[in-house]
Amino acid sequence: MKNFTKKYFAYRCFINLIYTLFVLFLFVTSIFEAFLEKTDGDNVVIESRYLLYVAIGYVVLYAIITIFSYLYYKLSGYEINDKQVIVKRGVLFKRKTVIDLENVHSVNSKQGIIQKLFKISTLLIDSGSTNTSHQAEASIIEDENVVNELIDVLKGKKRVESSNSTSYLENEHSENNSLYNFTSKRKVIYGLIYGTVFALVLFFSIAFTMILSYVISNLSSEPNSFGEIAFVLIICSIILIIGSYVIAFAYSFIRYYGFKLYKENDSLIIEYGLLVKVKNTMKLNRIKAIKVERGLLERMFKYATIKLEVIGYIESSNNGNGNQATIGVLVPLCKESEVNSIIESVSPSYVPKAQQGKAKSFISYFTWTNIILLFALIIPYLFGVMVLLNYNLINDLWIISSIVGATYLLVNIIVLFVSLFDRNNQDIIIDDNRLIIYHGGIIRRTTIIQRHNVIAIEDVTTKWRKEKGIFSYRIHIRTNNMTNVIHVNFIDEHKKDELLNLLIF
Amino acid sequence: MNIEFIKLEKKILKLWYVISTILFILSLVSIWGICLFANDSDTIVITIPSVIIGGVLSFVFLVLLYGYPSLLYRSYSYYYNDDRIIINKGVFFKHHIVVPVCQIQDLHIYEGPLMQIMKLDGIIISTAGSNYIIKGLSRKDSEKMIESLEANLRKRLEELKDEKLH
């Protein structure tokens, strides 16, 4: 078992220093504030022995953490042999991960900005277990050159296994020949599109909150004037719009810096990042699905995003929720007309076929939504009416009536809006050994899945829909456990038999 | 293909009725608590309109809580053979799920506290994507089902291995 690189220990010491200094800063400032409060701000005299205590405390804290880091470094290690990758980590809670080489799903390397200073990077190895689909199963921290070597070793071992001599030759030619170029022009368009989307979403949510707070404050004894609220709304909107574009541009220029997509033997490699450098390596036959996504704005300008479902290849979202992860990106932005050629160059069996049909029913979007909605609104409404009657507040009845009415109307408008988009993008095409699914309304998605990755078929209907031959389908696929069911609504009943024939029993 | 679906154990209906009764008592307490006590005075005040609304709400809860279990029981059925598991469920929305046996990753039996009293089991069928639950089998049935599913799975995996080799 080999230890992680020594540089890793140095790196930990540096990180520890930053953390402990930060803690010290917080501690000292809070103590200082407490002193100020006690002494009313004048003649603050801090005795030198207190300073000594703080210094000793700091040294002890730093020493403990560093000893811990040292133990962690000494007790952690890894080994790659002909059959397995073994990684050992942890001091108090020890963890030993063993992954069979034949089960390795994806091999990714990641390098943060401080790691770059120390010339080390993290190698993430994933076996594709659904239990740990939000994070890699094993990680090895090594010198950046060693990590690159290890990636080659892992690939090489797999190559020996498959003992396919022709792939060696292909390798020499195909290496570093990028299949897609994320040009600066595209980065700008990406920034503009996503910036606008963020800004619009934020604007509408703020406007909604403002209107709601205006209504509520009008009901209270001291109503705010509409002018005040409009002023806050405008200021917030300006800040948010600027913020949205800054984030979107940072995303496209910094996160996707140096975006490279290329094939090597039977592996696909995706590299990007400036501050955090990521290199993902996955075998082509580990791809579970390819998703083509087109949002409203992307559709207007005829652009599309292509995503890749490979267990272990995820982009963790930046909003702080550790467990939320979105599926990995294959191509951040490309012309709609280029989608097929890009997918063809990656893996020809995933090229989508054109949509053939659409949802058979429009009214289906409304019937059950309305019945459930009415029920969900009427029961709390009746409770409310009962209370108002008891308190003799008959005049206030119109308030809750109008709130209930407005909610009903608003939900119906949203349903109408969604269903208008939704119904044109519902279809299932069965083509040899694969499935092409058109689903999603506002964000249109085309998902291409190979037959062996379909796990189960579920159909949903009601009595009335059955008579009309309208069925909805849920296609359960083998993938990250967050996005494992695809919904297709209100299409033909005959698809059911075709889908069942597709399942491998 | 003529499939004879298996119904859930009749006892599960009793269990659902027990749950419904508990929920119904709770809903009665809240409905009539609000109807009779939520007012300005310290005593019970009975106003005819609110009593009518209370009555309507109680009736709605009664119908929902006692009607739903029997409808659910009637709509719920399952089937399994050498190569597939089929689950039918849903009162208004009829769900029909077909899971091939070879996709099973692991099988679990579980019992809630009430299910333990009634000697009932639930089965969780895990695949590489989703979990499928059948709740309300007798212990004998669940053990039999797990055993035969395991055997079928092993058989299918062997067959698939052979197919790959040829």
Q: What is the least distance, in Å, from the CA of B110 to any CA of chain A?
A: 19
Residue A318 has a pLDDT of 42
Report residue B86 as tokens: 């089929």
Q: What is the pLDDT of residue A319?
A: 39
Token pair recorded at residue A493: 């009943």
Asked whether A168 and A195 are in contact (CB, 8 A), the reply is no
Nearest to A289 by CA among B34, B129, B166: B129
Name the token pair of A272.
Answer: 């990007």
Query: How far is A26 from A181, CA to CA, in rounded Å?
Result: 46
Can you give the pLDDT at residue B76?
94
- Residue B80 C-alpha, separation from nearest chain A C-alpha, in angstroms: 12
Q: Give the list of residues 6+ apart from residue A314 with CB closer than 8 angstroms, or none.
A: A133, A134, A325, A326, A327, A328, A480
Q: Chain A: nearest CA to B64, how far in angstroms? A: 11
DSSP state of A310: B
**CB–CB of A368/A345 below 8 Å?**
no
Separation in Å, CA of A460 to nearest CA in chain B: 5
Chain A residues within 8 A of B53 when measuring between CB atoms:
382, 385-386, 389
Helix (H) or strand (E) holding A387: helix A364-390
Please report the pLDDT score of residue A31 as a whole number.
80
Q: Flag whether residue B1 sits within 8 Å of chain A, measured between CB atoms.
A: no
From residue A399, give the alpha-carbon distance in Å to each of A207, A383, A390, B38, B162: 21, 14, 16, 19, 71
| Distance between CA atoms of residues A104 and A97, nearest Å | 12
Q: What is the signed CA dihedral for B12, B14, B20, B23, rounded to 10 degrees? A: -100
pLDDT at B31: 92
Is any Cβ of chain A less than 8 angstroms from the Cβ of B164? no
CB contact under 8 Å between A130 and B96, yes or no, is no
Q: Hunting for tokens 């094993």 — which residue is that?
A: A138
Chain B CB contacts of A386 under 8 Å are 34-35, 38, 50, 53-54, 57
Nearest to A453 by CA among A292, A329, A284, A287: A287
A390 contacts B50? CB cut-off 8 A:
yes
* CB neighbour burial string for A18-50, b if at least 16 within 10 angstroms, e if fewer: eebeeebeeeeeeeeeeeeeeeeeeeeeeeeee
Out of A387, A476, A504, the one facing B130 most closely (by C-beta) is A476
Q: Quote the pLDDT of residue A395.
A: 82
Four-CA torsion A394, A399, A400, A405, nearest 10 degrees: 130
Q: Inspect the interface and report whether the beta carbons of B100 and A503 lie closer than 8 Å.
A: yes
So where are chain B's domains? Answer: 6-74, 78-165
Please indicate whether, in this complex, the C-beta atoms of A458 and B34 are within 8 angstroms of each other: no
What pLDDT was estimated at residue A43? 61
Furthest C-alpha separation in chain A: 88
Chain B from 82 to 141: CB within 8 A of any A CB: 83-84, 90, 92-103, 127-130, 132
CB within 8 Å: A386 and B92: no
Contact B121, B111 (CB under 8 A): yes
Closest-CA residue to A309 (of A291, A332, A292): A291
**CA of A359, closest CA in chain B: separation in Å?**
18
What does the DSSP assignment read for A208-275?
HHHHHHHHHHHHSSSPPPHHHHHHHHHHHHHHHHHHHHHHHHHIIIIITTT-EEEEETTEEEEEE-SS
d(CA A343, CA A335): 12
> Residue B165, SS3?
helix
Residue written as token pair 């033997």 = A265
* pLDDT per position as a tens digit, B120-155: 999 998 887 788 899 889 989 999 999 999 898 888
Distance, CA of B60 to CA of B58 (rounded, Å): 5
Tell me the one-letter amino acid at A496.
Answer: K
Nearest Cα residue to A280 out of A308, A252, A319, A253: A308
B11 Cα to chain A: minimum distance (Å):
27
For residue A146, give the nearest of A271, A2, A270 by alpha carbon. A2
Best A458, A482, A489 residue to mutate vs chain B (most B CBs within 10 Å): A458
Q: CA-CA distances (angstroms) from residue A410 to A225, A374, A383?
A: 25, 13, 22
Sheet architecture: strand order including A325-335: A314-316, A325-335, A303-309, A289-294, A444-450, A434-439, A427-431
Chain A positions in Cβ-Cβ contact with residue B88 (cut-off 8 Å): none
Please give the pLDDT value at position A134: 55
Q: What is the torsional sign of CA B55, B59, B60, B62?
A: positive
Q: Which two tokens stand for residue A10?
A: 């140095």
From residue A203, give the alpha-carbon distance in Å to each of A240, A247, A251: 8, 16, 20
Planar angle of CA A419, A357, B87, nearest 5 degrees: 75
Q: Which of A379, A460, A503 sits opposite B94 (nearest CB)?
A: A460
Query: Is B128's CB within 8 Å of A460's CB?
Result: no
Q: Which CATH number is associated with domain B78-165?
A: 2.30.29.30
> Nearest CA to A63 among A109, A26, A27, A13?
A13
Residues A329 and A396: beta-carbon distance below 8 Å: no
DSSP string computed for A423-448: GGG-EEEEETTEEEEEE-SSSEEEEE
- What is the model's pLDDT at position A157? 60
Judge whether A120 and A5 are in contact, CB under 8 Å. Answer: yes
Measured between beta carbons, which residues in chain A are less than 8 angstroms from residue B95? 458-460
Distance from CA of B86 to the nearest CA of A (A): 9
User: Cβ separation of A476 and B129 shorter than 8 Å?
Assistant: yes
Question: Does any CB of chain A come closer than 8 Å to the CB of residue B79?
Answer: no
Considering only residues 17 to 76 of chain B, which have any Cβ-Cβ distance to chain A shorter than 8 Å? 31, 34-35, 38-40, 45, 47, 49-50, 53-54, 56-57, 60
Residue A276 Rama label (left phi>0; alpha psi -120 to 50; beta): beta
Closest CA to A337 of A311, A310, A368, A302: A302
Q: Which of A269, A277, A254, A273 is nearest to A116 (CA)?
A: A277
What crossing angle do the helices spanning A364-390 and A397-422 adopt, rounded to 10°? 170
Q: What are A173's two structure tokens?
A: 């030619």
Euclidean distance between CA atoms A502 and A498, whole angstroms = 6
How many residue contacts between A and B have a Cβ separation below 8 Å? 99
A478 and B34 within 8 Å at the Cβ level: the answer is no
How does DSSP classify residue A55? Answer: H
CB contact under 8 A, A456 and B100: yes
Interface test with A, best of B3, B61, B78, B94 (most A CBs within 10 A): B94
H helical segments located in A136-225: 144-162, 166-174, 184-219
- Do B38 and A485 lie within an 8 Å CB cutoff? no
Neighbours of A10 (CB within 10 A): 14
The CA distance from B118 to the nearest CA of chain A, in Å, is 30
Average pLDDT, chain B: 89
Alpha carbons within 13 A on the beta-carbon side of A212 = 9
Q: What average pLDDT score do residues B42-71 get?
A: 90
Cα gap A438→A429, rounded to integer Å:
8
User: What is residue B27's predicted lDDT score, i.e. its pLDDT?
Assistant: 95
Residue B164 pLDDT grade (very low, low, confident, very high; cuts 50, 70, 90): low
For A483, other C-beta atoms within 10 Å of its C-beta total: 19
**pLDDT tens per residue across all 505 residues of chain A:** 888 888 888 999 999 999 999 988 998 888 877 777 766 555 666 677 778 888 898 999 999 999 999 998 888 888 888 888 888 888 888 888 888 887 777 788 888 888 888 889 888 887 766 555 556 678 888 888 888 888 888 876 655 444 443 333 344 444 557 888 888 899 999 999 999 998 988 888 888 888 887 777 776 666 667 777 778 888 888 888 899 999 999 888 988 888 989 988 888 889 888 888 888 888 888 888 899 999 999 999 999 999 988 876 766 544 333 444 567 888 999 999 999 999 999 989 999 999 998 998 888 888 889 999 999 999 999 999 988 888 888 888 888 898 899 999 999 999 999 999 999 999 999 988 899 999 988 899 999 999 888 989 999 999 999 999 999 999 998 876 556 888 999 999 889 999 998 888 8
Query: Contact B98/A477, CB-based, under 8 Å?
Result: no
Q: How many residues does chain B have?
A: 166
Strand partners, A331: A306
Question: Alpha-carbon distance B51 to A345, whole Å?
Answer: 72
